[in-house]
Structure 1
Amino acid sequence: MRLPQEIIRDKRDGRALAPEDIAGFIAGLTAGQVTEGQAAAFAMAVFFRGLSLDERVALTRAMTRSGTVLAWDLPGPILDKHSTGGVGDTVSLVLAPLVAACGGIVPMIAGRGLGHTGGTLDKLASIPGYDGAPGLDRFRAVVRDTGCAIIGQTADLAPADRRLYAIRDVTGTVESLDLITASILAKKLAAGLDGLVMDVKAGSGAFMTGREDARALAESIVTVANAAGLRTRAVVTDMDAPLASAAGNAVEVHYAVDYLNGRVREPRFHAVTLALGAEMLVLGGLAATVDAAEACLLQALESGAAREHFTRMVAALGGPADLADAPERHLPRAPVIRAVTAGTAGTVESVETRAVGLAVIGLGGGRARPEDAIDPRVGFSHLARPGDRLGSGDVLAMVHAVDAAAADRAEMALRAAYRIGEALPAPREAVLERLG
């Protein structure tokens, strides 16, 4: 293998990297022969210089092959969904059991929070006893028995990505289209999927804030995935406001349980969930059309079948068997829960969604450094949405905090993130575009 610094220099100076150079660098990263500083320099060089399609495919394949690649022998298509990240995006928790209830097999490899966005694995960690890092044998058994399992990357699956993922989070390289593409697909290819549906966010709470940038990322993922042998479709969805009215870890799990129980059906969250699930079912050959797929998903929700798959998955991975019956009994609760009220009457014209995500981190619900611990109790619930009409003193959100001082800071941040006036915001669809 060439010296890591020579590979970094080539990319820094805009030269294309040969597949063997990329493979050697990633092998060195996996083995610990490439230092954290060299990995950070490589990520920054890629961020500024970019990768060609051939380089993206080579990086994706190298990270996939850095560990075990699963193979399944189960009676159903192996399907998954991945989101590029947002605020209040707890779709994965309900989508995996929903698709499983319709005949799909969903071995979902989820990530931790990245930048200002929440991570599915961090949310699941708020469930007492839930094992988000089981061995591969247990992972296989849970998927076989329940039809779905949501876990984090194990030591066996794409270990190079796990190292690079943590470095990207703290080096300002999260938004790199090339690194996002390779990171997502390495995990998915390692999971042995038959089909993948990508949820690419666009808006103030997304890494790709502009719709054109989001489309470019969606096209990159679809192109690289198919070139690497994984059938993939992408859906561009709106992240100009928190997707759910909850942002945090335990509060989002509670929201997901309420959704599966039929207690909440917020239109944007519901629309995105159905759109992604429908694409998964069509991709897996479980429905002939999107309309037929959505009908299956709705039946799984209304019949309680999706809730049953969720309950079995949680219990099989060590969580409480009655979580869906009594989430308040099991999910941790913040010591301070306070209403943030509107100072003046008016309409919510817009929300700076990234600021809401950063406020969750400020409460302790996310990481500023890879080694930071997360407090699962904190966050926001009952978030007002664009277009909501509020009277003076009406609830803008509920803040969940460790103490009064933290609640004060979060309240200030939340007020700054909301714009309240008299204008009605222009309607914006939750599902913006489908590709693939």
Structure 2
Amino acid sequence: MEPTTVGIWGIVLLFALMIFRTPVAFAMLLSGFFGMWALEGLRTAGALILTESYASVASETLIVVPMFVLLGNIASVAGFSRGLYDAAFAWVGHYRGGLASASVLGCAAFSAVSGSSVATAVTIGKVALPEMKRLGYADGLATGSVAAGGTLGFLIPPSTGFVLYAILTEQSIGRLFMAGVLPGLMLTVLFIVTVWLVALRNPSLAPAGPNVALGQRFRSLGQAGPLLAVMILTIGGIYVGAFTPVEASGIGAALVIGLALAAGKLSRAGFRIAVMDTLKTSAMLYTIVIGANVLNPFFAVTQIPALLGQGLEGLGLGAYGTLFVIIGAYVVMGMFMDGLSMLVISIPIVFPVITQLGFDPIWFGVVAVIVIEMGMITPPVGLNVFVVRGVAQDVPLTTVFRGVMPFLFAMIVGLILIILVPQIALLIPNTMFG
């Protein structure tokens, strides 16, 4: 059987396994193993699993994932996330739509210490949604702002999405982290503008909150200050070259644990919960990396990425036309797959095409992550929507999906801006260590 035919059957098997709810990591591993068996024999397929399984998890680069996840989990159980939201609320809550804007700002700040979209949406949602309900916010705007704000956890460093992208494409994690800073801030502003426009159109959806005295505003910043300082130290340290992303993750986690202990906010039970959640998340991500590293050599042997590149080139659409075809495919996949699955399955196939077209791989990493973010809030499988629905159980799922639609348009605007002005993503990484 021709390698390309085997490759097509391997892709069919991959999606069939996922349709039957096989975890994506094991779907990739099984497809890669049986595909390589069909092409190279059982001995080669067995050796591939053994060598790739060890090589994948032995890389010190992956330490970034559990350390930053632990940092976010400790900050959550210690209640530091409440301080971030309270500080944002104190400064913008008195404006119409201010609580929704504070939710977006809280999500952006927590994203800078978490790296997880789901963790960001859950953590800020538990704090912000009850407050917005108490003050009479419309359910759609309240849940939509949190679901959309949570997606920033996949873009603002430290992002697990960028870590996986770096591993799959052999790019610099530090440069990718820095590439996410300005786009993350831009999307935060676009989300806040979206809240303002929704409130302007229908003021009853977003009543103004109570005014907070200036002194209390600065006190709230002081309470959020230690966690913000950790954020600036870790990301800033990577930027100036003071330490690597791996060192930054360990330093950040140690500092947050120390802050929580010093403030008396970290109990033994809370620490255990944070560690167990970290272990679960890290085990999932490590298994996905193993599955991807078994599937990728199989794709390479089948020559499917090369054939895809030739096929797209044959369409005669040009570089940007081809890019929009790839983005369109991502949008369709995002309606049915979660973000990490999309990333690990698609990047080995489309990345050679992107580099062949002459696009910057760091810039494309940002574009891919934003498109994947969009999939987190689009029906029918918008993961963040279901996560927020789990927090606000009295809100119908359809209401949450309607609430995120204005923010989805804001993300499209942001994506177009980054395509038109690549320096939004490349400015900071291109000045690193300088």
TM over 0.5, yes or no? no
- Identify, as 1 or 2, the structure richer in strand: 1
Q: Highest relative contact order (Cα 8 Å, sep 6+), 1 or 2?
A: 2
Structure 1 length normalisation: TM-score? 0.29
